[in-house]
Amino acid sequence: MGKVKIKKNDIWIDMTPMSDVMVLLLTFFMLTSTFVKDEAVKVNTPGSVSEIKVPETDVLQILVDNEGRVFLGLDKPASMQAVLQDVAGQYGLKLNAKQEKTFMSLASFGANVNEMSDLLSMEQAKINGIQAKKGIPTDSIDGGMSQFQTWVKAADDAVPDLKISIKADQKTPYKVVKKVMSELADMDMNRYYLITQLKTQED
């Protein structure tokens, strides 16, 4: 007796709805994601048990590397531009639109104001490598405000509800961090966040 052949029917699945969902998800992530910029220096923060979250907007981040060099950064390009224009005006620094655009694209900056024009004229890929060896001066001249304080005040003027965070390397000398805190205290800025890594039970 011959075998009975079972007719096979082709199965067709409409993938159009799946494609629509994938496009929507891709568009959503592209519009809501923020690209992380490279900071001027890499900082390995010390550990702590604190779980307080640092705000993500309107924050002036103070970076202190393991050599004690100080860097600053703001989360919004428009704020960076306003701060640069303020400080440049105080120091008589003339910058063109391209230099301002370069400054706005930086995650953090750290150099003497008098060197800022030359620094911002360089290729953007080279800037972090150059300024990583400099840092913002924290010493005042003739009893006036230090360059660090000038930048901080400009940021405070530019951002109405400014929050300050300090991110220091675990190998940073304490006297340097204390110096930064003293500079802020002289400006009646005594509230700030100290960024650390959350310790685990294994640490």
pTM of the full structure: 0.73
80 alpha-carbon distance from chain centroid: 11
**C-alpha span between 75 and 161 (Å, rounded):** 13
- Structural contact between residues 102 and 124, judged by C-beta atoms closer than 8 angstroms: yes
Residue 136 CB: number of other CB atoms within 10 A? 23
Beta strands in the chain (DSSP E): 47-48, 59-64, 70-74, 163-168, 193-194, 197-198
What is residue 147's three-state secondary structure?
A: helix
Q: What local confidence, expressed as pLDDT, does residue 169 receive?
A: 83
Give the end-to-end CA distance of the chain in Å, rounded to a whole number. Answer: 76
CB 72 within 8 Å of CB 84? no
Q: Is 77 helix (H, G, I), strand (E, B) or coil?
A: helix
Per-domain boundaries in the chain: 47-198
Question: By C-alpha distance, which of 132, 188, 141 is closest to 164?
Answer: 188
Residue type, 129: G
Q: Quote the CA–CA distance of 116 and 134 in Å, as a whole number.
A: 11
Count CA within 13 A, CB hemisphere, residue 74.
24
Largest CA distance in the chain: 111
Q: What's the pLDDT tens digit per position in 52-75?
A: 676 778 999 998 888 888 999 999
What residues in the chain have per-residue pLDDT under 70?
1-12, 29-52, 54, 196-203
CA 143 to chain centre: 30
Identify the pLDDT of residue 6.
65
pLDDT score recorded for residue 94: 92
Note the pLDDT of residue 45: 53
